[in-house]
Amino acid sequence: MQTAHIPARLALEDGSIWRGRAFGAGGTRLGEVVFNTSMTGYQEILTDPSYAGQIVVMTAPQIGNTGINPDDHEARQVFLSGLIVRELSPCVSNWRASDTLDHWLSEQDCPGISGIDTRALTHRLRSCGTLKGALTTDPAISDDDLIRQARNWPGLDGQDMARQVTCETPYAWEDATPAAWEFRQWVLPEGTIIPPDGFHVVAYDFGIKHNILRRLTAYGCRVTVVPAFTPAADVLALEPDGIFLSNGPGDPAALPYAVQAVKDLLGQVPVFGICLGHQILGQAFGGQTYRLKFGHHGGNQPVKHLPSGRVEISAHNHNFAVDPATLPPDVDVTHTNLNDGCCEGMRHKTLPVLSIQYHPEAAPGPHDADPLFIEFVQLMAARKAPASQEA
């Protein structure tokens, strides 16, 4: 049932109440309230599993004007707890649209609230840090009770959210990104040899996005996706040429099984980790992770590649980061965030292992970081080269 014109409220753990109008599904949801600064791509954001357990504030003033289409989903369903916008577009204008945001969120059982001063709410989150919140369309719940619900919700610290979003069984992925204009500048260097059947990449699904899999496939990889809890022995039995550690939600310190699996894989084949995969890799190196004040969420984060000095504008979605002071001497920090200086990338000095904290596939966002996929392919090609030369 759609909820247009029904009053809705957002209560934060700091005691504030924000009143607006409901859209999408009805009911009450609890979650961490975070803000996303992307100007476009709300459909990809809504279907990003990394938002599981979170209520997302869009800082762009109007959301919903391009509707929903069947091609831009990044996962099988919506995993976030709610959506907060300044204005829900009253009409849809896009040739690809097949549904409205309001109706689609209702089908996805995800509530939204519009009419919120998202600028003021974002300012509060930047000042106070991430806050727990309760979003409801139920008039029977008092403001005080709603605030109590927000405060009593346990939050995401120490929570293994990856198990809630991962696939249940392994599967093969075959769909590649179309050779569209936006990817024409990113090509493998001349002389990079790809086997006839492609490099076999086993991708851990901690909350993986479809466009990651499309980009790997577009660079000649044959991808097998495995659940988050897959032991290293089962992965190595698939005879991979490389291991990919995906993005995902929640606290990386709550995934000791994944850290152990990565420890067992280091040195076996090339490894590439992003976002949660980057944080898990940091722990596997012996480092520690910590919570950022309000995280990075959006497609306009400036990141500096330290070896070259190159600055990338990149897409982020994470609340935790790797503490570079806890990393061993054989791991280099390769990227830093120009806003807050946190670690955004790592590379092992002797092993074929690299990672970044952000999203090279974007979706949505700029494609400045897409060459990281090329670097991963080159690591696999270098490892295969000695064997092919001997043959």
Instruction: Return the structure tokens found at 25.
Output: 């599904």
| Catalytic residue list contains 167 | no
Contact 166, 229 (CB under 8 A): yes
Distance CA 209, CA 201 (A): 15
Among residues 44, 312, 344, 361, the one annotated as catalytic is 361
350 exposed, middle or buried (CB, 10 Å; 0-12, 13-18, 19+)?
exposed
CA distances 159 to 96, 166, 239, Å, are 37, 14, 32
Question: Which of 333, 338, 343, 294 lies closest to 313 in space, CA to CA?
Answer: 338
What token pair was written down for 294?
């309000």
What are φ and ψ of residue 13, in 5° steps?
A: -65, -15
Active site residue 361: yes
Residues 6+ apart with CB under 8 A from 201: 216, 221, 222, 223, 224, 240, 241, 242, 243, 244, 380
Written as six digits, the tokens of 112 are 């939204």
Rounded-to-integer distance, Cα 79 and Cα 76, Å? 9
- The alpha-helical segments, DSSP class H, found in 219-325 are 232-236, 256-265, 276-284
Is 190 among the catalytic positions?
Answer: no
Catalytic residue among 110, 275, 342, 343: 275
Residues known to be catalytic: 275, 359, 361
